């Protein structure tokens, strides 16, 4: 985070979201790894299926969101709970070193994985000396 490359958007934005969406929204736990090739992001979103997930890049802000289905909770009455259920959303500001056209994402076992390749020019290049 030293270079401020990935900053989570301000808390204000999140509050606005909460007014316009039904139910409460939770921030998933996220890992972000930077390699030479790019950034890799993992977000824990248990209960979200492939069709209910959105990865969106607008300008340099990437938004990941997932909707949980309440259908599976029909006819269940809670007797003891440790976690609440809600939709997920997280938003990160990316540096322009990311090639927006080559972003890819996949979902497995409730974990979203997003590949954010760096643009070619940003990769360190060894310059041969003759």
Partner 1 sequence: MALFRYGADLDPANALFRLQSELERAFDSRAGHDLGLLGRGVHPACNMFRSGEDVVLRIEVPGFAPENLAITSQGQTLSVAGKAPAQPEASGSYHRRERRRGDFSRSIQLPREVDPARATAECKHGVLTIRVPAREEVKPRQISITGG
Strand partners, 8: 92
Instruction: Answer whether 48's CB lies under 8 Å from 88's CB.
Output: yes
In angstroms, the CA 120 to CA 98 distance is 9
Whichever of 22 and 127 has its CB closer to partner 1, that residue is 22
Footprint of partner 1 (CB under 8 A): 1, 5-6, 22-24, 29-36, 39-40, 42, 44-49, 68, 70, 72-87, 108-111
The helix or strand, by DSSP H or E, that contains position 92, with its residue range, turns out to be: strand 87-93
Whichever of 57 and 85 has its CB closer to partner 1, that residue is 85
Whichever of 109 and 130 has its CB closer to partner 1, that residue is 109
CB of 71 to partner 1, least distance (A): 8
CB of 29 to partner 1, least distance (A): 4
Neighbours of 126 (CB within 10 A): 5
CB of 83 to partner 1, least distance (A): 4
Sign of CA dihedral 3, 116, 34, 122: negative
CB of 21 to partner 1, least distance (A): 9
Whichever of 11 and 129 has its CB closer to partner 1, that residue is 11
Question: Which residue in this structure is represented by tokens 């990311």?
Answer: 98
């Amino acid at each position: 985070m030293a270079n401020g490359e990935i900053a989570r958007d301000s808390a204000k934005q999140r509050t606005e979201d909460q007014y316009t969406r039904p139910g409460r929204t939770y921030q998933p736990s996220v890992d972000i790894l930077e390699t030479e090739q790019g950034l890799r992001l993992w977000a824990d979103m248990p209960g979200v299926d492939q069709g209910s997930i959105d990865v969106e890049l607008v300008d340099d802000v990437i938004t990941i969101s997932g909707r949980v289905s309440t259908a599976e909770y029909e006819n269940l009455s809670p007797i003891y709970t440790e976690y609440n259920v809600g939709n997920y959303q997280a938003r990160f500001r990316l540096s322009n070193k990311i090639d927006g056209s080559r972003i890819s994402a996949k979902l497995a076992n409730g974990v979203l994985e997003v590949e954010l390749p760096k643009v070619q020019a940003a990769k360190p290049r060894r310059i041969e000396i003759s």
